[in-house]
Amino acid sequence: MTERVKHLGEFALIDRLIAALPAEVRSNDRVCGAGDDCAWWQNSGDRTVVTADTMVAGVHFRLDWTDWRSLGHKLLAVNLSDLASMGAAPKLAIVTLALTGDELVADLEDMYRGMGELAAIYGVVIAGGDIVRTQGPQVFNLTAIGEVGVGQSLMTRAAARSGDAILVSGTLGASAAGMRLLAEPNPEAKSADLLIADHLRPSPRISLGRLLASSGVRCCMDLSDGLAGDLPKLLTASGVGAIVDTTLIPVAPAVHANFPDLWLDLAIRGGEDYELLFTVSPDQVAALQVAARDVGATLTPIGQITVEPGLIWLDELHHPVRLDVGAWDHFEHSND
Amino acid sequence: MTERVKHLGEFALIDRLIAALPAEVRSNDRVCGAGDDCAWWQNSGDRTVVTADTMVAGVHFRLDWTDWRSLGHKLLAVNLSDLASMGAAPKLAIVTLALTGDELVADLEDMYRGMGELAAIYGVVIAGGDIVRTQGPQVFNLTAIGEVGVGQSLMTRAAARSGDAILVSGTLGASAAGMRLLAEPNPEAKSADLLIADHLRPSPRISLGRLLASSGVRCCMDLSDGLAGDLPKLLTASGVGAIVDTTLIPVAPAVHANFPDLWLDLAIRGGEDYELLFTVSPDQVAALQVAARDVGATLTPIGQITVEPGLIWLDELHHPVRLDVGAWDHFEHSND
């Protein structure tokens, strides 16, 4: 009876709360909400796709690390990344700000400028929202809404099939490397500004998501909690396992160069890559790689889906290595 | 350059932030966000209607006043009320919780039960969301999504026309009276439990909103900031004025009885009534009043829309009275 949120962890808590709802208000065949990056809702023609992400001052961002313009960019970007992972075209965003009142108006205008610049690229309308007062740290919530047109498929985490190739877009680890350089500045670091920009201003893979969905990819998610945190969610949702060759994981050269001992950890556990992780039949990989050039994306096969559950990582000698994996969890489990 | 949020106030701040966006990401003919209770988006058939409301511990609720089940009910209800005011049918809700980690899991389960009970009445699916950690007061955000079907009209604040009758549903002031009884308990108060329930567990007028929209009502909003706060927004959006007869404002008998000197103030300035305020041609009033009986609603004409801008309140002698009006603003303007 005295079980507290911090004892349970974020993902177990979500399961418990959904279980507290009457069955008829949970996901059904017209509305689906649990387990994917977005919820969706089948209207008369299109499917409407919805996602919400929240950033709390001191937890998800530090005002001594980021400028406000980048913060606005990121608040929208992390939500657009969720839409991208479903293959949805973004349409509209609603913003809720919980503010202390001491913020400079000019800073918030900068935040909106950063949001607006990214919104303009994808034709997303920023449709107002709600502003409330808080006595604590600022809380910024953005809800993004997109659509998947009639006849288009919607990608989910639950569609991986045994034998599928596992691919990621772009490179991994740069955002985590950038965050580390913010925490421990190193004047000798190479390409530090670019790594930091990867952390503060991630780019959502909207066009790639659309391309994958229209090319027949059915299983996709975005990498927000790191490959080692997110891939197990995809495997669990699909009821399959995987073998990943760690030597194939694409890592930016600057991550290698600046963190010779830590690059693999940053690449699989760092998080906030906002690249797409997806699976597809091996005979489609080459054609997808060519097609992805049109949206400026590189696609790298890193492993294979297996019938047997579990996740095996292979080292450079193709020996299985043990990696302690786990998703980023907003609540560290504790027994206080 | 040192202008702060608290100097500006909520509504002026929203205007400034929207102005900081590039023009192409603001409202357009397929997506509309500014000025109404909800944003909407025209998809291939239906219109999708979206709203978000946030409740901050210590600002919008007090855990020593409310139980968690009522809190969940209210978090959903205030959003469904916004959908009701546009005439939309609610479909889906996304919940974001910013938690400290010290909350009891059982309390949050109660909150979801309260949300689920109300969701079940209207067939709303609670489609997950996001849980994050905060070091400050809890912040609960709910985004509700509804639809207005092909050929159905969508009610807005901007459609009042000179000569229209102004009506409100139900009675006003009960929620504010209930909050006052929570702040200053009075063992001799009459119907205190019901007034308190009106404050802690408001009922959204979903069925009435659908009825009004399908009956041809074009101008509607919900009363969250009190008649004196909300009616001016409707008048400004429509470019008209109004005369309101204060003796016609429907006030619950228990509000009169418990607050003989304060009832009018509670009824027009108290806020959180979550009744509907709308305008319609006078020759439609009687038929609407009869039709509204089917959804258990009473509709009361309280005044008339005028060509001349401004809002005139008439007292019992039909003399204009001066009322200091203003919306509830989350930031009191200050010159600190």
> Tell me, what's the ipTM?
0.77
Instruction: Say what the pLDDT of residue B336 is.
Output: 42
> CA–CA separation, B35 vs B277, rounded Å?
15
Q: Which residues of B267-290 are buried (b: 16+ CB within 10 A; e: fewer)?
A: bbbbbbbbbbbbbbeeebbeebee
With contact defined as beta carbons under 8 Å apart, do A73 and A117 qualify? yes
Q: Give the per-residue pLDDT at A27.
A: 73
User: How many CB atoms are closer than 10 A to CB B301?
Assistant: 18
Q: Which one of B16, B53, B81, B141 would you mutate to disrupt binding with A, by most A Cβ within 10 Å of its Cβ?
A: B141
Q: Is A12 on the interface with B (CB under 8 A)?
A: no
Q: Does B4 touch chain A (CB under 8 A)?
A: yes
- Ranges of beta strands (E only) in chain A are 31-32, 39-42, 47-56, 89-99, 125-133, 139-148, 165-169, 219-222, 241-245, 276-280, 299-306, 310-314, 320-321
Angle at A123 between CA A121 and CA A129, to 5 degrees: 110
Q: Do B127 and A2 lie within an 8 Å CB cutoff? A: no
Nearest CA in chain A to B25: A125
pLDDT averaged over 10-residue windows placed end to end, chain B, 336 residues? 82 83 76 70 79 92 94 96 94 91 93 92 84 91 89 89 98 97 94 95 94 94 95 94 96 94 93 97 96 93 96 91 57 46
Phi and psi of A196, rounded to 5°?
A: -65, -40
Strand partners, B304: B165, B243
The span from the CA of A36 to the CA of A86, in Å, is: 8
Contact in structure between B267 and B244 (CB atoms under 8 Å): no
Give the residue-averaged pLDDT of A3-24.
83
Q: Which residues contact A316 (CB under 8 A, 6 or more apart)?
A: A246, A247
* Alpha carbon of residue A239 to chain centroid: 21
Count of C-beta atoms within a 10 Å radius of residue A298:
14
Question: Choosing among B36, B92, B107, B142, which should be mutated to test the A contact, i.e. which has the most A CBs within 10 A?
Answer: B92
Cβ distance B200 to B70 under 8 Å?
yes
Among all chains, which residue has been given the structure tokens 């509830």?
B328
Instruction: Please report residues of A whose CB lies closer than 8 A to that of B14.
Output: 128, 131
By mean pLDDT, which of A1-15, A226-240, A267-281 is the weakest?
Answer: A1-15
The domain limits of chain B are 31-148, 157-321
Q: What radius of gyration do chain A's Cα atoms show?
A: 20
Which tokens is A95 given?
């913003």
- What residues are paired with A98 via a beta bridge? A132, A139
Which of A4, A28, A108 lies closest to B102 in CB terms? Answer: A4
Give the distance from residue A9's alpha carbon to the nearest chain B alpha carbon, in angstroms: 9
Give residue A335's pLDDT band: very low, low, confident or very high (50, 70, 90): very low
Q: How many residues does chain B have?
A: 336
Environment class of residue B252 by beta-carbon count within 10 Å: exposed (0-12), middle (13-18) or buried (19+)?
buried
- How large is the average pLDDT for residues A222-249? 95
Residue A208: is its pLDDT beyond 70? yes
* Shortest alpha-carbon distance between residue A113 and chain B (Å): 5
Confidence of residue A1 (pLDDT cuts 50, 70, 90): low
Contact criterion met (CB below 8 Å) for B253 and B267: no
Q: Strand B165-169 and strand B299-306: pairing?
A: antiparallel
Helix (H) or strand (E) holding A178: helix A174-183
**pLDDT score of B313:** 94
**B62 reaches A (C-beta below 8 A):** no
Give residue B116's pLDDT.
92
**Residue A12 pLDDT grade (very low, low, confident, very high; cuts 50, 70, 90):** confident
Q: With contact defined as beta carbons under 8 Å apart, do B61 and B196 qualify?
A: no
Nearest Cβ partner for B13 among A6, A33, A105: A105
B190-197 long-range Cβ contacts below 8 angstroms, 24+ apart: B190/B254, B190/B257, B190/B258, B191/B254, B191/B257, B191/B258, B192/B258, B194/B254, B195/B252, B195/B254, B195/B255, B195/B258
What pLDDT sits at residue A336?
Answer: 42
Is B9 part of the contact surface with chain A (CB cutoff 8 Å)?
Answer: no
Pairing verdict, β B89-99 and A89-99 = unpaired
pLDDT at B206: 94
- Report whether pLDDT(A176) > 90: yes
Specify whether the CB–CB gap between B263 and B255 falls below 8 A.
Answer: yes
User: What pLDDT, on the 0 to 100 scale, is given for residue A221?
Assistant: 97
Find residue B314's DSSP bridge partners. B245, B320
- With beta carbons under 8 A apart, name residues in chain A contacting B127: 27, 31-34, 39, 41, 50
SS3 readout for B272-332 = CCCCEEEEECHHHHHHHHHHHHHHCCCEEEEEEEECCCEEEEECCCCCEECCCCCCCCCCC
Q: How far apart are CA B192 and CA A318, in angstroms?
A: 73
Beta strand B276-280 with A320-321 is: unpaired
What pLDDT was estimated at residue B327?
44
The residue type of A90 is P
Q: What is the pLDDT of residues A186-196, one digit of tens each?
A: 999 999 999 99
Cα gap B265→B243, rounded to integer Å: 17
CB atoms within 10 A of CB B138: 22
DSSP character at residue B137: S
pLDDT at B16: 86
Of B14, B46, B108, the CB nearest to A128: B14
Q: Quick one: which of A59, A333, A334, A134 has its CA closest to B138?
A: A134
Average pLDDT over chain A, rounded to an integer? 89
Query: If you ran DSSP here, which 8-state letter would residue A172 be given?
Result: B
Of A52-61, A322-331, B32-41, B157-166, the poorest mean pLDDT is in A322-331
Contacts of A154 (CB under 8 A, 6+ apart): A40, A47, A49, A86, A87, A88, A148, A213
Chain B hits for A17, CB-CB cut-off 8 Å, are: 108-109, 112
Phi, psi of A225 (to 5 degrees): -105, 15
Q: Which residues of A touch B145 (CB under 8 A)?
A: 41, 48, 50, 145
Helices (H), chain B: 5-8, 10-19, 68-86, 105-122, 174-183, 192-200, 206-214, 227-238, 253-258, 263-269, 285-292
Q: B104 at the A interface (CB within 8 A)?
A: yes
Nearest chain A residue to B22 by CA distance is: A116
Superfamily of domain B157-321: PurM-like C-terminal domain (3.90.650.10)
According to the model, what pLDDT value does residue A175 have?
A: 97
DSSP A293: G
- Given an 8 Å threshold on Cβ–Cβ distance, is A18 in contact with B126? yes
**Interface residue B317 vs chain A (CB under 8 A):** no
What homologous superfamily does CATH list for A35-148? PurM-like, N-terminal domain (3.30.1330.10)
Which tokens sit at B239?
């470019």
**Nearest residue of chain A to residue B336 (CA atoms):** A102
Contacts of B105 in chain A (CB under 8 A): 3-5, 7-8, 13, 16
A282-311: average pLDDT: 95
Q: A39 and B128: CB-CB below 8 Å?
A: yes
What does the alpha-carbon distance between residue B97 and residue B163 come to, in Å, rounded to a whole number? Answer: 45
Residue B8, C-beta contacts closer than 8 angstroms, at least 6 positions apart: A105, B16, B331, B333
Residues of chain A with Cβ-Cβ distance to B4 below 8 Å are 101-105
The architecture (CATH level 2) of B31-148 comes to: 2-Layer Sandwich (3.30)
* pLDDT confidence of residue A143: 92
Quote the CA–CA distance of B141 and B134 in Å, as a whole number. Answer: 13
Q: Are B91 and B51 in contact (CB under 8 A)?
A: no
Cα distance between residue A152 and residue A43, in whole Å: 14
Q: How distant, in Å, are the alpha carbons of A94, A154, A309, B31, B67 from that of A83?
A: 14, 10, 28, 18, 35
Strand ordering across the sheet containing A165-169: A219-222, A276-280, A165-169, A299-306, A241-245, A310-314, A320-321
What is d(CA B203, CA B118) in angstroms, rounded to the nearest whole number? 9
Contacts of A50 in chain B (CB under 8 A): 92, 94, 127, 143, 145
